Amino acid sequence: MRFCDLIIKKRNGLKLSEKEIDYVIKEFDEGEIPDYQMSAMLMSIYFQGMDINEIKYLTMAMVNSGKIIDLSSIPGIKVDKHSTGGVGDTTTLALAPMVAAAGVPVAKMSGRGLGHTGGTIDKLESIKGFKTELSLNKFIDIVKKVGASIISPTSDLAPADKKLYALRDVTGTIESIPLIVGSIMSKKLAAGADAIVLDVTTGSGAFMQEYKDALKLGKIMVDIGLELGKETVAVVSNMDEPLGFAIGNSLEVKEAIDILENRGPKDLRNLCLVLGAHMLKLGGAAKNYEEGRSRLEKILKEGTAFNKFKEMIAAQGGNTKVVDKPELLPSAKYCTKIKADINGYIQKIDSRLIGESAMLLGAGREKKESEIDLSVGIILKRKVGNKVKINEDLAEVYYNDSEKLKEAKNKLFSSFVIGDKKPKKLPLILATISQEGVKEWE
């Protein structure tokens, strides 16, 4: 089998067989195929696409490139959750204790932030002492005892995907739907969960900025999950403005604590309830979505999830005092405010520009090796549809470096669009995709 022949085959729009795709992934992972040839294959896939069988073969080839985690010793149905990324997306921090408090075990591996999107692991490391790098045995033991644990992925989890993603990042092929599906689903399947709930974001702060692309991605991921024996549900959510008010690691931990105290921003709370209700249904803790949501609302009201978060932090070596006293979390030295320069209504808040502003302050990574500042970030004071007057606050900026502030401040100000008329706001949940089909917003 010649790799060049397979490039030509895919370039010409023909389908690759399971054997051919296994060969491509195995040889590339073992260093037998040079980057320039694999780049040509990635670009061929980008332009010609893949059918459902090819995506399935690609996903499983990447799963089988490493270790598949065995979670069978944990009682109950293990449900994983994944978001395609966004700005202010703090759902995992609140969701894990909420769902665990309802009796569904959450054994979750999460990533670090890169670019304008935040990473769950970075946020958790804002909590002093919190360990995100644990052995698999310790990870499983915590889930058995507490019901939830969140750690960074082990190096042998779908290693072919790591190599492939690094190449996609520098060859303009990140947005390829088959490659996105293969990347996400291979890691979810290798992580060992029994069922998967996906949050597919769309809008200015998401990788899939067009709704139709996000819907297509969600459908294919659900189909692949079902094809490979995992009950899978996808929610398409609106990331045209940041989720919640906080953008930045320690600031988002504070906001997650607000949610667990049955307070916090309505949009973030609502998304946690939506995703969590589906997780409870798939995990057998609720007969249907409505029952799952009602149960989670009760859990938040009673403070059970709040206490579960403390248990999880303690089990992973973190300081539980931050839950009762969020002021113990890292805090920036300085704060400045961004103010409106005209009267009107907030027409738009560009999520990507907000995320990039936070990154410039030091809250995110421009490159994988970049160091981040856990204390800096942005608190929005207005959301789309809100009325604002001249000199009223649009956002608060928390910073430690005045040089970094200059560029971030200009970008942040330009992310707000103010106009005369109150805009029609899109709903937060745009569609739900499951085995039963697609339910779109009206």
Catalytic (active-site) positions: 82, 161, 168, 183, 187
> Which residue do the tokens 């790098």 mark?
133
- What distances in angstroms separate CA 309 from CA 98, 130, 132, 147, 354, one per listed residue? 8, 12, 15, 10, 28
CA–CA distance, 28 with 146 (Å, rounded to integer) = 40
As a whole number of angstroms, the distance between CA 258 and CA 232 comes to 29
User: Exposure pattern of 295-330 as b/e (b: 16+ CB <10 Å)?
Assistant: bbbebbeeebbbebbbbbbbbbebebebbeebeebb
DSSP secondary structure code for residue 152 in this structure? P
* Coil, helix or strand at residue 305: helix
Distance CA 232, CA 435 (A): 8
Which segments of 228-303 does DSSP mark as H helices, in order?
A: 249-260, 266-282, 289-302
| Beta bridge partners of residue 237, listed in sequence order | 201, 429
For residues 25 and 196, the answer to whether their CB atoms sit within 8 Å is no
Cα angle 104-110-113, degrees, rounded to a multiple of 5: 145
Cβ-defined contacts of 39-44 (< 8 Å, 24+): 39/167, 39/171, 40/7, 40/11, 41/3, 41/6, 41/7, 41/10, 42/164, 42/167, 42/168, 42/171, 42/173, 42/176, 42/179, 43/171, 43/172, 43/173, 44/7, 44/10, 44/11
